[in-house]
Chain A
Amino acid sequence: AQKITQTQPGMFVQEKEAVTLDCTYDTSDPSYGLFWYKQPSSGEMIFLIYQGSYDQQNATEGRYSLNFQKARKSANLVISASQLGDSAMYFCAMTDNAGNMLTFGGGTRLMVKP
């Protein structure tokens, strides 16, 4: 069975600073995918970034980067130059070997201070 753990229920960050949201996972599948989603108060789920288990380099998408440490089974999201609009819930998630999205972490609420 797969498991995703986000140990930070909430995080504060000053506007324009960088912040790291933690995510650790557990799986016995040799092949898997790791995702981060943002959920603003409106409730929609917004895809941010993807990392494949066999990808050699850390994924980056604009201000988002994924710090993938396979041996440690961690996939932390780094947001650079935080903006007020980054305030939201952030969910780490993973697919299984079949590519089905089955498991979400508990989420981290990020609050950006002006």
Chain B
Amino acid sequence: SAVISQKPSRDICQRGTSLTIQCQVDSQVTMMFWYRQQPGQSLTLIATANQGSEATYESGFVIDKFPISRPNLTFSTLTVSNMSPEDSSIYLCSVAWGSTGELFFGEGSRLTVL
């Protein structure tokens, strides 16, 4: 299995600021995924991050709002830019692992925007 570390685990942010979430994996993986979980909701895929190429964003998510870096095969960052209270969510990074493609998740980063 893959071990994924995310930080910060939680933060309280002011409107209009930006926050970068880091995701570290203990093994090399090709694809990393970033999800958002708004309060009381299910998980929604934000983007898929491949090392060495631009992230692929899902409908409703844009690079200017959620820039992603993927400098190597074990690390990625997601920035939530110009935050508003609507961005208050849990943000989770994940990687697919094994023959079944089982997704392993980081602990999640719980953001509250005031």
What residues of chain A have their CB less than 8 Å away from a CB belonging to chain B? 33, 35, 37, 42-45, 47, 50, 52, 91, 93, 95, 99-102, 104-107
* Cross-chain contact A91 with B48 (CB below 8 angstroms): no
Number of B residues near A (Cβ < 8 Å) is 22
Check if B70 is an interface residue, CB within 8 A of chain A. Answer: no
* Cross-chain contact A101 with B94 (CB below 8 angstroms): yes
Q: For residue A43, which residues in chain B have a CB less than 8 angstroms away from its CB?
A: 37, 90, 107-108, 110
Interface SS of chain B: helix, strand, loop or mixed? strand
Shortest distance between the CB of A30 and any CB in chain B (Å)? 16
Interface SS of chain A: helix, strand, loop or mixed? strand
What residues of chain B have their CB less than 8 Å away from a CB belonging to chain A? 31, 33, 37, 41-45, 48, 90, 92, 94, 96, 100-105, 107-108, 110
Q: For residue B48, which residues in chain A have a CB less than 8 angstroms away from its CB?
A: 100
* Cross-chain contact B104 with A47 (CB below 8 angstroms): yes
Q: What's the Cα separation between A52 and B99 when bound, in Å?
A: 11
Which partner residue on chain B sits nearest A106 by CB separation?
B42
Which partner residue on chain A sits nearest B109 by CB separation?
A43
Q: For residue B96, which residues in chain A have a CB less than 8 angstroms away from its CB?
A: 99-101
* Cross-chain contact B42 with A91 (CB below 8 angstroms): yes
* Cross-chain contact B45 with A102 (CB below 8 angstroms): yes
Shortest distance between the CB of B95 and any CB in chain A (Å)? 10
Q: For residue B90, which residues in chain A have a CB less than 8 angstroms away from its CB?
A: 43
Which partner residue on chain B sits nearest A101 by CB separation?
B103
Q: What's the Cα separation between A45 and B44 when bound, in Å?
A: 13
Q: What's the Cα separation between A99 and B96 when bound, in Å?
A: 9
Residue of B31, B41, B102 touching A35 (CB-CB under 8 A)? B102
Q: What's the Cα separation between A42 and B105 when bound, in Å?
A: 13
